Amino acid sequence: MGQKVHPHGFRLGILYDWESKWFAERDYTQKIQDDHALRQYILSELRDASISRIEIDRNANLVTVTIHTAKPGIVIGRGGQKVEELRGNLEHFTGGRIRVNIQEIRTPELDAYLVARSVADQLERRVAFRRVVKQAVQRSMQRGAKGVRVAIAGRLGGADMSRRESETSGQVPRHTLRADIDFGIAEAHTTFGRIGVKCWIYKGLILPEPKQIVVPEPVIEEPVVPVEPEPTPVVAAGPGHTAISMAQQEAVRQQEGDR
């Protein structure tokens, strides 16, 4: 059997960041449980808001919750009434200060969890699973994805024995660390049991920024101007005598030798 690795966890710290950002020494397990309960509460309160993920950032006295949703109008409400009500409920739920940020997902067809959730909702409405999967893959490819893979498993079509079906288009390099691959899991609760849906969406390679080569500026040498030697001052030695320099004395001796 192949060893399956979660595509998001495989790239944590390389391409993606953590969804919970805080540090704890002693109450680590309690904060993990609090984060899970906080996410489950938000998802139960906003079931129709197409929420993809929830990021939690804990500071000393403030918890910042960022909700990534494809329908921000449902989360905000009229005049921000609904988001204020949600913030009040979260403060009562956690017992601390809460700040809620809303982040809009402009292309839900390129979000893996929203695609998987859409497939699961249609399976719950008894739509033919092959048509659902093909349409989901085609819509994502039309919106600019470089590769899409959707896999469903369970009692498909009400069969007595469960099986696995998948549809792939483009390339999905799941072992390449530089590949930006979004991954999502959803479940369809049908009368025959649960049907699992997995979705991989490949958006392209994330290349490191090229190193900037610093080109040194050319040094322009200024022309050297020759400096003329200063004339040696003539100092009077006394009355009737004139003091001359050594060079002048040497010149006088040469003239006398020539004679």
Q: pLDDT for 117-131, tens place per residue?
A: 999 999 999 999 999
Question: For 69-89, what is each residue's pLDDT tens digit?
Answer: 999 888 888 888 888 888 898
Cβ(232)–Cβ(250) below 8 Å? no
pLDDT in the model for residue 163 = 94
Averaged pLDDT score across all residues of the chain: 86
Mean pLDDT is lowest, of 13-17, 66-70, 135-139, 217-221, for 217-221
Q: What DSSP line would sit under 145-202, residue for residue? A: -SEEEEEEEESGGG-SS-EEEEEEEE---TT-TTEEEEEEEEEEEETTEEEEEEEEEE
> Beta-carbon neighbour count of residue 206 at 10 Å?
13
Could you give all domains of the chain from N- to C-terminal order, each with its CATH number? 7-106 (3.30.300.20), 109-205 (3.30.1140.32)
Question: For 160-172, what is each residue's pLDDT tens digit?
Answer: 999 999 999 999 9
Cβ(153)–Cβ(181) below 8 Å? no
pLDDT for residue 1 is more than 80:
no
> pTM score, two decimals?
0.75
Task: Report d(CA 249, CA 237) in Å as an integer.
Answer: 15
3-class secondary structure per residue, 45-91: HCCCCCEEEEEEEECCCEEEEEEEECCHHHHHCHHHHHHHHHHHHHH
